[in-house]
């Protein structure tokens, strides 16, 4: 399929997420769907912001054995928190796994996070999008680094 937009709503009709892509290729044998230039937009529990995640390539991996459905992004991944109050968070990495139903994302790739107060870099990240908490990872060679702007 080309130029597809899929929207997801909860049982009460509240919008949860949508995913668009220039191309969807579904593999019946695995249940996976490969995406060209995917964009995933996630609603938050609050009404004042949402997250938009995009990349050159992606893949939807279906729910298997009680595990949550996930969307994997790779090749120039950006995630942006869009706030109605003028605040922003931009995340850049090469690979990202998103659990849309949990509003959770993670990467073990180097990541840069920019916001209005500065930049943080690390070798990996876990982000809990609903409450805005982040867990940064370092390695023996690379530490978490933060630059604060005044």
* CA–CA gap between residue 143 and residue 28 (Å, rounded): 42
Closest CA to 61 of 76, 72, 77: 72
Mean pLDDT by 10 residues, the chain (150 residues): 89 88 94 96 73 96 78 96 80 95 93 93 93 90 87
- Is residue 135 within 8 A of residue 110, CB to CB? The reply is no
CATH architecture of 2-148: Sandwich (2.60)
List residues bridging with 140 in a β-sheet: none
* pLDDT at 86 (0 to 100): 73
* pLDDT at 113 (0 to 100): 94
* CA–CA gap between residue 16 and residue 94 (Å, rounded): 25
* pLDDT at 14 (0 to 100): 84
* pLDDT at 66 (0 to 100): 60
């Amino acid at each position: 399929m080309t130029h597809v937009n899929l929207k997801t709503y909860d049982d009460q009709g509240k919008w949860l997420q949508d995913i668009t892509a220039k191309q969807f290729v579904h593999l019946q044998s695995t249940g996976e769907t490969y995406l060209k230039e995917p964009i995933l937009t996630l609603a938050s529990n609050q009404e004042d912001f949402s997250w938009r995640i995009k990349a050159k390539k992606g893949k939807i991996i279906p729910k298997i054995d009680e595990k949550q459905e996930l969307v994997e992004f790779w090749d120039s991944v950006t995630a942006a928190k869009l706030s109605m109050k003028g605040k922003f968070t931009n995340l850049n990495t090469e690979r990202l796994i998103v659990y849309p139903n949990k509003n959770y994302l993670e990467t073990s790739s180097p990541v840069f996070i920019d916001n209005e107060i500065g930049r943080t870099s690390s070798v990996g990240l876990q982000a809990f999008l609903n409450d805005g908490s982040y867990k940064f990872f370092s390695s023996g060679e690379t530490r978490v680094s933060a630059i604060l702007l005044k």
